[in-house]
Amino acid sequence: MTEGFEHRYGVPARCFFNADALHLSDLASISLYRVVNEALTNVARHAQANEVTIGLSRDEFYCYLRIRDDGVGFQRDGMRQPTRSACSA
């Protein structure tokens, strides 16, 4: 995925993980793939980044995915506030 991203957008994408140490279910693998795919799509569309780093690690209980870029980011003040639904108390 990262090779295709680099080729398509000219933005280097580096991965750091030990695949031998990861034993993931099919659902976990697909979910992680989709998260990374969406993150790279957002980087390409919005970030104006020069580099992306993807790290995948685990401990005894959890798997950790970190995706970072050096792009422009976004203004926190411009974020929408959650709306209350009619069922909220």
On whether the pTM is more than 0.85, the answer is no
pLDDT at site 89: 41
pLDDT of residue 24: 85
Report how far apart, in Å, the C-alpha atoms of 40 and of each of 6, 17, 28, 36 are: 10, 17, 18, 6
Domains of the chain: 2-70 (3.30.565.10)
Q: What are the Cα distances from residue 54, in Å, to 13, 15, 75?
A: 7, 5, 23
What is the full per-residue pLDDT of the chain (89 aa) written as tens digits? 999 999 999 999 999 987 667 788 899 899 999 999 999 999 999 999 999 999 998 888 888 999 999 999 877 776 655 555 554 44
Q: What is the pLDDT of residue 84?
A: 55
